[in-house]
Amino acid sequence: MEATTATTEFEISLAQIREEYCQQIDGLMDQLTAHIILPEQKANIIADAALFTVFSMTVKIAETMGARPDDRKAIMDAYWPLEKALKADLPRMINEFVDAAKEARASMQ
């Protein structure tokens, strides 16, 4: 996955961190699904991992902000920005990814 152009020091750090965890997650999912033959089953496992990752990171964000595990409101407050980002930012990221892949393919021809 190609990182977008970063401008601030924080954005540069975020891009570097994102590159690292993207590579690690991709490698981990390849390892975990290596024995699965059917593409549909692999896709289901990866989708489940994505869903659980959103859940796990929601709890992690809430904990980082000082919420207790029994504080439903604080945990949901941590989730709402993620839901918004999934609806708004994820389509943009997909479009950027596809556009970059198309450009790379066109430059190879």
Q: Within 10 A of 62 (CB to CB), how many other CB atoms are there? A: 21
Which pLDDT tens digit goes with each residue over 48-98? 999 999 999 999 999 999 999 999 999 999 999 999 999 999 999 999 999
* Token representation of residue 94: 């997909």
Q: How far apart are CA 83 and CA 23, in angstroms?
A: 23
Q: Distance between CA atoms of 70 and 63, rounded to whole angstroms? A: 11
Residue 7 confidence class, pLDDT cut points 50, 70, 90: confident
pTM equals 0.76
Residue type, 50: A
Instruction: Tell me what percent of the chain is helix, strand and coil, each rounded to the nearest 5.
Output: 80, 0, 20
Q: Give residue 5's pLDDT.
A: 59
Domain ranges in the chain are 1-35, 37-108
Contacts of 68 (CB under 8 A, 6+ apart): 74
From first CA to last CA, the distance across the chain in angstroms is 21
Query: So what's the pLDDT on residue 81?
Result: 96
